[in-house]
Every structure is written in C-alpha cells, then in structure tokens.
C-alpha cells in the first residue's frame, strides 16, 4: 500500500536507527499501520514510539524546547516532518541541526532558526526517554560509555538506561559489570599507587573512583614541566569540545581520588576484524580464504602420498623384477613412475602458485586495513608519532 506522505515514518525510522538498533522498523509497518498513518499520522507516530518505550508526547509551541534537549519530530506547515537531533537549539541557537528525509541530502543539515520558524506548524513530538541524560548523575555509566567508544563500541546511554531499567540514581557496580559483560567487556577493580600509574599505559583508559563516590575516566599520564600529571575526563566537570580533559598533579589526584580503578578490557572473538594487531588478526583472513587453504592442504597430502611411490618402486624392482627377470613388469613400472613424477611436478607447481596467491591476497587485505586505520588517525597523531 502506498503512503501519501512518508516523511514522518522516515524521520521516526532515523531515530530508531540510533536508539533502537535491534528493532526492524520495516516489519512494524503492517498494512493496518499504513492505512492508519494516511488518516492520522500523529497517532501512528505516537503509537509506534510508545510501543518501543520512548514515552512520546505531542506538544505545541516553542516553550517545550527550552527545557528539553533530546531529539524531536517537528511538523512543518506543508505537513512534512523533520527531525531535530538537538531540539534545544530550536529555542536558543541561531542555527538548528535538521534531518529532512525529503530534502535529497544525506545526514543532518544546518538551517537558520528564523527560516525554520517560518515553516514550523507549531506541532512537535518529543520523547521523554530520549531526553539528554545528566552526566553528573550518571558518572559511572558515562565513564563506561566513553571507554567503550574508545574501543570502537557504539553505545547510546539512553538505550542502556532503557534496556537495563536504570533510573536517575547512579548505577550500581554489580549492574555495571552485567552491562559491561553484555557489551563484551571484562571488568576488574584494582588499586594502583601513583608510581604504578606511570607504568599502567596498557590498562588505560579506565574508570577512576572518586572519594565523593562519583567516577571519572583516567585517560592516561603525561609529563608537564618534569612533573607527572594524570589526564582525566570528569563527567561532573563542565567542558567543551576543545577542553574535555583535566590535568591533576599527584597531590591533587590523591586528594580527589581513592586510587581504586575499574579496569575494562574488550573481549574480541577470533573472527573480529576490530581486534588489536597480533597473530590473531590474521585468523579472519585465513577463514575468508579457507577454500584456497583447503585445496593447498589436499595437495600437500597428495604430495606426501606420491613421495612414497619411488621407494616402493625400487622395492618392487629388487624383490620382483630382478629376481624373476620380468622386464615387461619393469617397463610398466617405469611408465607408472614417470607419470607419478610428472603428476608430482604439476601438483607441486599448483601448490606453490596457490600458496603465493593466498599470501599475496592476505598481504593486500592487511595493507588495506592498515592504511585505512592510518588515515582515520587525527593530524596530531602524525606530529607525535613517526609513521614513515
């Protein structure tokens, strides 16, 4: 069935793709849902959102955006819908980030607030379960998500709070261990002195426990004016994109933190291509080329069997041919051994060729991945690390 104006459903699908990745949105659009959407789009959008626990609310006017910072569906005067990923901008900023599924442009675009106001119909749908989370109240969860994102694991704090029924109170340590395990992280609490922190580069970043009972991310250590400083990202501190870190001396660190750390280690499967570089990194490549290596193994087995033919030939010649002077048998054996030698040569060439082909294929794949990772590094990385 055709939908007259699918912009609202497309906008809701975009929101679901960020906060409800496990939901097959297309499967939700039954024939009845599509029929209802053509007659009452707002009701269908509210129902689909409520079924996924987003706690939607239909609002009118701009007042709601001054206190709400999550994503919102906004209806324009032409009845099209757009998404405001950071709807608080609509009340404060000069420009507003907008996702318009009918604009023909991929991703979010920036629109002048005055221009958006002219097109705004006054109707919007907000989602209470997608409102911005106060990181000062959820320091432990915020710290865990920051470390998970460092390990290329995409997690949304609001999705976690919904799935694991996390309230406004700080998540318990046992609860965090359960969440970490579900996202393939192994956690362990240890206590490290200041001297040990200097040599703890391999376990950083980790979660540092404050004396106040709150948590922060210990990102690493640095030397400043011949003095060692701890580099931290504290959810309780207000920061900007250019000033995300705080730097504490030994005295300041000991005064504010207990010295206890929650170490987090990403658990990779054998076939995970995102794992750190090691011999395990080649296992996915071997699995991808298992057909070629299977043929190589078969050829090696055949060569091993053929290597036994020549000793057997001489044994038969000595035991049967020479004793009985059976020259016809000798001729037959000679032709057979000649065929075996030729076949052995062909199989050896094929094995060497396929082994070289597989090795070059893995080499190209590894070089491509290495180059891709290198190009993802920030410019500062090349200033500090010689990459050749």
pLDDT band at 51, cuts 50/70/90?
Answer: confident
What confidence tens digit (pLDDT) does each residue in 103-154 have?
A: 777 778 888 888 888 888 888 998 877 777 767 788 888 889 888 888 878 7
pLDDT at 240 exceeding the cut of 70? no
Nearest of 235, 255, 253 to residue 245 by alpha carbon: 235
Nearest of 257, 201, 265 to residue 234 by alpha carbon: 257
> How crowded is residue 263: how many other Cβ atoms within 10 Å of its Cβ?
18
pLDDT band at 275, cuts 50/70/90?
Answer: low
* Percentage above 70 pLDDT, the chain: 90
CB 96, CB 113: distance < 8 Å? yes
Give the pLDDT score at 295: 87
Tokens of 375: 């190009």
Tokens of 9: 């459903």
DSSP 144-159: HHHHHHHTT----HHH
For residues 65-78, give the mean pLDDT.
Answer: 84
CATH 3.90.70.10 fits 139-266, yes or no: yes
pLDDT band at 278, cuts 50/70/90?
Answer: low
Beta-strand ranges (E) seen in 192-233 are 206-210, 215-224, 227-233
Given CA atoms 257, 259, 264, 265 in this order, what sign does their dihedral have? positive
Nearest of 181, 110, 192, 107 to residue 148 by alpha carbon: 181
pLDDT band at 382, cuts 50/70/90?
Answer: low
Instruction: Return the top range by mean pLDDT from 84-98, 274-288, 372-386.
Output: 84-98
Give the pLDDT score at 92: 79
Is the model more confident about 59 or about 164? 59
Give the pLDDT score at 18: 80
pLDDT band at 279, cuts 50/70/90?
Answer: low
CATH 3.90.70.10 fits 7-130, yes or no: yes
Give the pLDDT score at 111: 87
């Amino acid at each position: 069935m055709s939908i007259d104006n699918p912009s609202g459903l497309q906008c809701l699908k975009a929101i679901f793709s960020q906060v409800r990745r496990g939901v097959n949105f297309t499967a939700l659009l039954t024939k009845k849902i599509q029929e209802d959407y053509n007659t009452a789009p707002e009701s269908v959008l509210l129902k689909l959102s409520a079924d996924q626990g987003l706690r939607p609310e239909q609002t009118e006017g701009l007042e709601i955006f001054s206190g709400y910072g999550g994503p919102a569906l906004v209806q324009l005067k032409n009845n099209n819908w757009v998404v405001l990923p950071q709807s608080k901008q609509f009340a404060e900023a000069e420009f507003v980030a907008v996702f318009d599924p009918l604009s023909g442009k991929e991703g979010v675009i920036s629109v002048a607030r005055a221009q958006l106001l002219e097109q705004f119909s006054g109707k919007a749908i907000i989602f209470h379960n997608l409102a911005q989370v106060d990181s000062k109240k959820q320091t432990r969860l915020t710290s865990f998500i920051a470390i998970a994102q460092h390990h290329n694991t995409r997690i949304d704090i609001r999705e976690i709070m919904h799935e694991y029924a996390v309230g406004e109170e700080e998540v318990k340590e046992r609860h965090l261990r359960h969440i970490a395990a579900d996202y393939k992280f192994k956690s362990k609490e240890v206590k490290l002195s200041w001297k040990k922190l200097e040599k703890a580069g391999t376990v950083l970043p980790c979660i540092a426990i404050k004396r106040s009972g709150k948590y922060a991310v210990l990102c690493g250590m640095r030397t400043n004016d011949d003095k060692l400083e701890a580099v931290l990202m504290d959810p309780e501190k207000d920061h900007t994109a250019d000033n995300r870190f705080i730097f504490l001396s030994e005295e300041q660190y000991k005064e504010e933190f207990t010295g206890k750390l929650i170490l987090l280690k990403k658990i990779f499967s054998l076939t995970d291509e995102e794992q750190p570089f090691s011999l395990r990194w080649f296992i996915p490549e071997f699995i991808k080329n298992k057909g070629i290596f299977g043929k190589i193994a078969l050829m090696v087995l055949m060569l091993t069997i053929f290597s036994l033919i020549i000793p057997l030939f001489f044994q038969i010649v000595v035991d049967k041919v020479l004793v009985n002077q059976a020259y016809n048998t000798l001729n037959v054996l000679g032709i057979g051994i000649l065929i075996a030698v030729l076949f052995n040569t062909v199989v050896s060439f094929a094995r060497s060729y396929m082994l070289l082909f597989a090795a070059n294929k893995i080499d190209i794949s590894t070089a491509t991945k290495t180059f891709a990772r290198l190009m993802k590094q920030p410019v500062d990385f090349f200033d500090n690390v010689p990459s050749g």
